[in-house]
Structure 1
């Protein structure tokens, strides 16, 4: 299904951003600034001009990425039943699935290796709750309700202790991680930048629904392995709770997302199946690029990497 398309090739490099690392650091810094809570200021016109420049770079990256993966989604079914069968097949056959990195994290990684992995993951976390909230704008009623239910779960159903974002923050604090944009490998930043582009740009709204849905579909096995690895390393329940919760909850979230978001969207507009599929495939390829980069770092001196 996937032949190893280089995500770096989808970027548009400029003198300011001459390579993938520079481009995705720049996009990540811009996303942090533009999505932060702000206040009126006198330099707003310069800020708007900078936003326009960065939106062009972001758009060129996304469109280049879409062109790269076009052959992978050329034959996606446009009927709801066929589309869901194709989509659910990504759980086993999609890019990055069953990557050996996660069995290794579960059974062999030491604490410092686990900390490095989670630092990369935390730095590349775009915030599932905010992505869902931005994606649901002007969606049809049934998908909008499903995204709302998903968001309510992300919000801990109204209880601070159950909110998923702060739950991850407690893992980061407990493990004394210090994620930074500049210290993160570019594939992790590219994943967050891609998801943010989808959710904040209305022409990519279908892509965002597909990408978020494939996260729910494929995450449980991976986060379950991380949870077991943290348990093996003696970390307390509070530091494992985020991963344990998602290993269980995302299974049900995926079923509901497929039935109540994807199916009605394809029923209403069969042509959107292509965009849903592109979003899902692009998200999985971003993940695969991350796993490749993580293994290259973590297994650099290990015999297991040489065998890959």
Structure 2
């Protein structure tokens, strides 16, 4: 585990350094894995406390970047849902030129590298939903439960999203690792994990998960088109084809069955839910920019993305 001292005045570059994000990613992978009790549990708890301080600093820094925009979110349920849905067009990273290029022009190696980054930064939507729903009000909890069941393939192992993601990885011969993943992709996964596992950020996690459902379908469809163009079969690209359709339904029900009743019950939740959504979108925007910097570094024809 890399050593970091807690400090509250880090720059954005410091939080997005490889060392910082890799350290959080290694810690998250270890602490969320099923384990047996050991003799050194006291030392592990001390390390967990230190890492939670660093994780908290990271999320508070991200909150500081989005708070001004989040304050614009209405606190009435109808107004908030309308504001939230508009993030699909106005939110950070939306309509990024990377995705039309992936659909129409990217080579197999380009798509392979892109998927490697996305897969390594995948925090596990099913697990994030499961952790977020703890002690939520009943109606919102039921909506998250329905979403979780879909993520689990409605009881069919072949329909589970994790195994479908693995099929794409095998088709592209990708073995994602923390060390080969850009810090922005790790930061996205680390931010999502932090919000889902820390109850003071529970409302943030609701917003972050909801905005994934809202914004993912269009990008998933373009990635699926690129994978089809380079020859992946229906089975091999099913993960992206499914998300291009299923997430549209999920977004509609999430907004009406989770967001609306939560804001109706307490308008003070609006700012936290908005912050979580914007943190997720901002992390995504940083990923897309880093991906383009890498993929277009060698004079790639970007006419499709102009």
Distance 2:226 2:147 in 1: 27
What residue number does 1:121 align with?
Answer: 118
What residue number does 1:141 align with?
Answer: 138
Choose which of 262, 266, 269 in structure 2 pairs with 1:269.
Answer: 266
What residue number does 1:292 align with?
Answer: 289
CA-CA distance at 1:100 after TM superposition = 0.6
CA-CA distance at 1:304 after TM superposition = 4.5
What residue number does 1:223 align with?
Answer: 220
Distance 2:301 2:142 in 1: 46
Choose which of 21, 34, 37 in structure 2 pairs with 1:24.
Answer: 21
Task: Tell me the TM-score normalized by structure 2.
Answer: 0.94
Q: Is the 8 A contact 1:143 1:264 kept in 2?
A: yes
Distance 2:108 2:13 in 1: 34
Distance 1:240 1:164 in 2: 12
What residue number does 1:45 align with?
Answer: 42
Distance 1:104 1:285 in 2: 21
Q: How does 1:1-308 map to 2 (within 5 A)?
A: 9-10=11-12, 20-302=17-299, 304=301
CA-CA distance at 1:104 after TM superposition = 0.3
Q: Secondary structure at the residue paired with 1:237?
A: coil
What residue number does 1:3 align with?
Answer: none
Q: Per the alignment, do residues 305 and 47 of structure 1 end up closer, same or farther by CA in structure 2, a change over 3 Å counting?
A: farther
Q: Is the 8 A contact 2:101 2:302 kept in 1?
A: no
CA-CA distance at 1:12 after TM superposition = 6.2
Deviations 1:207-254 (Å, cap 9, x if unpaired)? Answer: 000000000000000000010100011111221000000000000000
CA-CA distance at 1:302 after TM superposition = 2.0
Q: Per the alignment, do residues 279 and 165 of structure 1 end up closer, same or farther by CA in structure 2, a change over 3 Å counting?
A: same
Distance 2:103 2:153 in 1: 27
CA-CA distance at 1:128 after TM superposition = 0.1
Q: Is the 8 A contact 2:152 2:159 kept in 1?
A: yes
Q: Secondary structure at the residue paired with 1:63?
A: helix
Q: Which runs of 5+ in 2 are unaligned?
A: 1-9
Q: Per the alignment, do residues 11 and 145 of structure 1 end up closer, same or farther by CA in structure 2, a change over 3 Å counting?
A: farther
CA-CA distance at 1:9 after TM superposition = 3.3
Q: Is the 8 A contact 1:12 1:60 kept in 2?
A: no
Moved more, 165-174 or 180-189: 165-174
Q: Secondary structure at the residue paired with 2:95?
A: coil
CA-CA distance at 1:205 after TM superposition = 0.3
Q: Secondary structure at the residue paired with 1:239?
A: coil
Deviations 1:80-130 (Å, cap 9, x if unpaired)? Answer: 011011000000111111101000000000101100000000000000000
What is the alpha-carbon root mean square deviation over aligned residues?
A: 1.5
CA-CA distance at 1:303 after TM superposition = 5.1
Distance 2:195 2:149 in 1: 21
Q: Which 4+ runs in 1 deviate beyond 3 A?
A: 8-13, 303-308
Q: Which runs of 5+ in 1 are unaligned?
A: 1-7, 14-18
Task: Tell me the TM-score normalized by structure 1.
Answer: 0.93
CA-CA distance at 1:10 after TM superposition = 4.0
